[in-house]
Structure 1
Amino acid sequence: MMRILLTNDDGIFSEGLAQCWEALSSIADVWVFAPDRERSASSHSLTLDHPLRAVEIKNNWFAISGTPTDCVNLGVLHFMKSNPPELIVSGINFGINIGDDVTYSGTVSATFEASILGLPGVAISQEMGIGADLKRTASLSAKIILFLKSKNLLQNSTIFNINFPKTKPKGISFCHLGKRHYEESVVENVDPRGKKYFWIGGAPIPSHPEKGTDFEALFQEKISITPLHLDLTNYEKLKLCKNFEEELKGLTE
């Protein structure tokens, strides 16, 4: 039976995590390593300035005093070291992770860490609102994972970012990341003690979804599946810059 490490960024007591575990347990041996509290938008942060705690709240369910990235590390490199997982699954997240949001997402970043460790990762997120059904999403996620595995798509370091519409899905679309536009906003206020505080973040700016993107898939009430990778190199720009290497030699002489 396949072995899966399951994590999230909404915390160990998240309903999305519980539903995902329930569905995945029918196809795999699932171990849970999840933050002991909300860690949304923690991105790919790793805790290095203080020790981590791990509390086993029930059999193979560990609450970790760190980020999703910490959870993956502790699970793979310590608790499951003698019999490592074949796949890292992160979710089900409350809210979609599409476009630029994947760079902020703790949910998606857990799969980035999986990739660094040489393991495939699948991030699962649910659009919230009327009609959202975590149990349905969990069941479909298990089926999609089995499909990807049967097609040999869950190879080492492969990442898939999957987002579910709030309604019953009308299909599945393999697509690329879109571009989410936000109002550039920082709200300043004063607390009861007279000290200033700030909230970062504006509301999304409505726009028509670009063709072939995860935005379009969800707009069409489809499941979006986007393959991701960690190589951030701009190869087009690199090719251009190579032309100037000779000119730069003099700077180091």
Structure 2
Amino acid sequence: MRILVSNDDGYNAAGIEALTEALRGLGDITVVAPETNCSGSSNSLTLNRPLSVRQASNGFFYVNGTPSDCVHIALTGLLDFRPDLVVSGINNGANLGDDTLYSGTVAAATEGYLFGIPSIAFSLVERGWKHLDNAARVARQVVEHHIAQPLDSKVLLNVNIPAVPSSQLAGTRVTRLGKRHPSEPVIKSATPYGEPVYWIGPVGNVFDAGANTDFAAIEENYVSVTPLRLDLTYHEQLDAVTRWAGPLCENP
């Protein structure tokens, strides 16, 4: 078993160190992660400049790019082998509901998935690494289970772990993504020279936290495991858009 590990918090973040240590003994582990924090970078690739890869004293490779850059470079030129599994995290904070669209942690796993490699993203739902040891234990359990009983189809799993001690963990649930309200307004400020600048505001409140959502599972101290896919086609709207586009299709 060859495991590629990445994240979005940077190669020296506590989460990736804990995850890598937790996976020891499960296979050959290679870490390729961003040089700096890339939270919120989503699936972006750096196309306007070359990227450098360096190796830290602990053996971790780090790239001056995004999480997607890291996995892409690893799979298309850096490594001389194809990993059996891509694992991302452990993220410093939740990736629930709509967060997955912006998450660099999920993006790193997604890049592996796009190359046909089973991929899992792990996040600790509260910032600050509280009970990181328990999150690392859960991550190992999930990876061990995947190795012992791999799913037949392509796999992209988004795993969120409550920031509680193991004694308070209720178990594990398979969930769907919930939804949030729109984000809070931007925060306007100014540079010392009086130029206006804007900080992206906080995430919105939870809108859909139904019983089978990731939000509901976390609220009840369950580990949330959500299978993801990348087909953005709105299949239920195809017929309606076909009828709407009829005149456009008829006129060259």
Task: Give the distance between the partners of 2:207 and 2:111, measured in 1 at CA.
Answer: 32
Q: Which amino acid aligns with 1:5?
A: L
Q: Measured at CA, do residues 83 and 129 of structure 1 come closer, stay the same or move farther in structure 2, by a change above 3 Å?
A: closer
In the TM superposition, what whole-angstrom CA distance separates every residue of 1:1-59 from its partner, at most 9, and x where no partner exists?
x1111000000110000000001122121100010111000000000100101111136
Match of 1:233 in 2: 233
Match of 1:201 in 2: 201
How many angstroms does 1:148 deviate by? 2.6
TM-score by length of 1: 0.91
Q: Which amino acid aligns with 1:250?
A: E
TM-score by length of 2: 0.92
1:35 paired to 2:34: yes
Q: Which amino acid aligns with 1:161?
A: N
How many angstroms does 1:240 deviate by? 3.2
Q: Measured at CA, do residues 10 and 131 of structure 1 come closer, stay the same or move farther in structure 2, by a change above 3 Å?
A: closer
**Contact 2:15–2:129 (CA<8 Å) still a contact in 1?**
no
Q: Measured at CA, do residues 125 and 172 of structure 1 come closer, stay the same or move farther in structure 2, by a change above 3 Å?
A: same
**Contact 2:7–2:90 (CA<8 Å) still a contact in 1?**
yes
Q: Measured at CA, do residues 131 and 221 of structure 1 come closer, stay the same or move farther in structure 2, by a change above 3 Å?
A: farther
Q: Name the stretch that deviates more: 10-19 or 231-240.
A: 231-240
In the TM superposition, what whole-angstrom CA distance separates every residue of 1:149-182 from its partner, at most 9, and x where no partner exists?
33322744x2000000111321101000000224
Match of 2:85 in 1: 87
**Contact 2:135–2:163 (CA<8 Å) still a contact in 1?**
no
1:164 paired to 2:155: no
Task: Give the distance between the partners of 2:70 and 2:12, measured in 1 at CA.
Answer: 15
Q: Which amino acid aligns with 2:135?
A: T
**Contact 1:161–1:225 (CA<8 Å) still a contact in 2?**
yes
Number of residue equivalences: 249
Match of 2:139 in 1: 141
Task: Give the distance between the partners of 2:178 and 2:234, measured in 1 at CA.
Answer: 17
Task: Give the distance between the partners of 1:107 and 1:131, measured in 2 at CA.
Answer: 15
Q: Name the stretch that deviates more: 24-33 or 98-107.
A: 24-33
**Contact 2:92–2:128 (CA<8 Å) still a contact in 1?**
no
**Contact 1:10–1:37 (CA<8 Å) still a contact in 2?**
yes
Match of 2:150 in 1: 152
Q: Which amino acid aligns with 1:57?
A: A
Q: Measured at CA, do residues 160 and 154 of structure 1 come closer, stay the same or move farther in structure 2, by a change above 3 Å?
A: farther
Where in structure 2 are the equivalents of 1:1-253 lying within 5 Å? 2-58=1-57, 60-80=59-79, 82-128=80-126, 132-153=130-151, 155-156=153-154, 158-168=155-165, 169-205=169-205, 209-243=209-243, 247-252=247-252
**5+ unaligned residues in a row in structure 1: which ranges?**
none
Q: Measured at CA, do residues 73 and 131 of structure 1 come closer, stay the same or move farther in structure 2, by a change above 3 Å?
A: closer
In the TM superposition, what whole-angstrom CA distance separates every residue of 1:73-119 from its partner, at most 9, and x where no partner exists?
11111122x32111110000000000000000000011111121111
Task: Give the distance between the partners of 2:217 and 2:69, measured in 1 at CA.
Answer: 31
**Contact 1:130–1:166 (CA<8 Å) still a contact in 2?**
no
Task: Give the distance between the partners of 2:47 and 2:40, measured in 1 at CA.
Answer: 18
Identity across matched positions, percent: 36
Task: Give the distance between the partners of 1:247 and 1:194, measured in 2 at CA.
Answer: 52
What's the RMSD between the two structures over aligned residues? 2.0
Q: Name the stretch that deviates more: 240-249 or 52-61.
A: 240-249
**Contact 1:209–1:219 (CA<8 Å) still a contact in 2?**
no
Q: Which amino acid aligns with 1:167?
A: V
